[in-house]
Amino acid sequence: MTAGWWRRNALSLALVAVLLPVTAGVVAVNEWSEWDLGHATKPITVEPGGSAPYAGAAIGPARARFANDPAAPPGTRLVSATVLVSPGEEPISCLSPKLREESGAGRQWNEASAGLDREYDPDRLTFCDSDLPIRYSLTLDYLVPEDAAGPFVIELESAAGIPQFVRLIVEP
């Protein structure tokens, strides 16, 4: 009696065996295919001294150096960087870029100018200002551990450029 049931339902069972994984695959592709539209997942790598078009602007060149700052906490070093931003026809906006180790553990650090004991300077930009139609520089400070030696990458992303982002290679 059991063998008869398997024979009668063989076609249905084969269809279920094929359609179940296909359905799961279609749902997964549908859900994940647009994931990177809201996230920076496709880097535009810029070599030291170079620049790249991004979100209607030219980004770069970038420079970095290790700087001495008495306000830096013990066990840290200050990486001071500048990034040139040349807006195109449309202004560009972005948050403060992150600094990341290019190799090794890939640690990352947020811009730390606000945490250093300095007077406010309205001309010092740490983010892309959409109100500025002219070329300007971002002046960025990052507190990194003493063992961080570089090379580093400065990662800049704009909502207008996602899923792409710019990775500016710098060697202090």
**Is the confidence at residue 87, as pLDDT, over 70?**
yes
Q: What is the DSSP letter of 151?
A: -
With a CB cutoff of 8 Å and minimum separation 6, the contacts of 31 are none
**Is the confidence at residue 60, as pLDDT, over 90?**
yes
**Is the confidence at residue 86, as pLDDT, over 80?**
yes
CB 111 within 8 A of CB 59: no
Per-residue pLDDT tens over the stretch 7-50: 888 889 888 899 899 988 888 888 777 766 678 889 999 999 99
> Residue 90: what pLDDT?
86
β-pairing, 164-170 vs 42-46, is parallel
**Is the confidence at residue 70, as pLDDT, over 90?**
no
Q: Where are the alpha helices (DSSP H) in the chain?
A: 2-8, 10-32
Per-residue pLDDT tens over the stretch 99-132: 999 987 889 999 998 888 778 888 889 999 999 9
> Residue 36: what pLDDT?
63
In sequence order, the β-bridge partners of residue 46 are 168
Phi first, then psi, for residue 44 (nearest 5°) are -110, 105
